[in-house]
Amino acid sequence: MTDWQGWFQQSVSQSGDSLEASHYDSARSFLIRQRLVHDWMGDTRGKIILDVGPGAGHFCEPLTAHNTVIGVDFVPDMLKFSANKGLLPVQADGMRLPFSSQSMDVVICVGVLQHIERSSDFLKDLLRVRKSDGQLYLVTLNRDSLVRWLYYRLTPNKEIMLTYTMPNLLKRFREFTPGAKVEAAAIYYPLPGYRRVGTHPGVSRYLSTALGIRVG
């Protein structure tokens, strides 16, 4: 199993306050993910927002002007950069979030699930801290992606990242949060843009490299 804490610590030591430190595929990949989540959220003001695994803090930096944004990470150097962008840093393991149940208006988790082996426990804790009328936004790697399938066969990877399908994550979130609205989005990197696909991904599950889930 990869030592992800050491992996990200080495990354931030080498790349500093950059998108590369958080291991986005590229700047364009980062912007597509950010635009999806921020468009999904709309004009959010006066909220308590939890960013689980914020990296250097770029993703939620625009939200700090009108909201309280808390960043939870297990890499101290990442948190230093997040704090410089207006996030309130908390060093903790994302598997055991140090917050009361139903204490967050919005929970954001981008590019973290692929590093988590006990994924059900992790997802349940994200939902635990979300208020009953709050939102959860999650972005991770798409297992069904034909582009990703080809990429993994052409590019050797020492680190094993987990991948997930849209139908499976939609089903799991519905089971974990009965009655909540759960929907998906397809992220088409290296092609530009994304598409909200609701509850029926269709062929989008094969054409997108990453996927987004919204709960609430």
pLDDT one-digit tens code per residue, 25-60: 678 889 999 999 999 999 999 999 999 999 899 999
Confidence class for position 132, pLDDT limits 50, 70, 90: very high
How far apart, in whole angstroms, are the C-alpha atoms of residue 215 and residue 193? 21
Residue 158 has pLDDT above 60, yes or no: no
Chain segment 60-73, per-residue pLDDT in tens: 999 999 999 999 99
> Residue 201 is encoded by which pair of tokens?
């991904």
pLDDT at 144 over 90: yes
How sure is the predictor about 159, in pLDDT bands with cuts at 50, 70 and 90?
A: low
| The total number of structural domains that make up the chain | 1
Q: What secondary structure, in 3-state letters, does 64-109 show? A: CCCCEEEEEECCHHHHHHHHHCCCEEEECCCCCCCCCCCCEEEEEE
pLDDT at 140 over 80: yes
Print the domain residue range for 205. 4-215
CB 122 within 8 A of CB 113: yes
**Number of helices and strands in the chain (H, E):** 7, 8
User: If you average pLDDT over every residue of the chain, what do you get?
Assistant: 90
Q: Which residue matches tokens 């709050």?
A: 134
Predicted confidence band of residue 2 (pLDDT cuts 50, 70, 90): low
Average pLDDT over residues 132-153: 88
Q: Does 4 or 122 have the greater pLDDT score?
A: 122
Give residue for tokens 């700090």: 64
- For Cα atoms 32, 108, 79, give the angle at the middle one, nearest 5 degrees: 95
3-state secondary structure of 207: helix
Helix (H, G, I), strand (E, B) or coil at 80: helix
* Residue 48 β-bridge partners: 68
Q: In what order do the strands lie in the sheet with 104-110?
A: 88-91, 68-73, 48-52, 104-110, 130-141, 210-215, 182-187, 194-198
- Residue 100 is predicted with a pLDDT of 97
Indicate which CATH number applies to the domain containing 27. 3.40.50.150
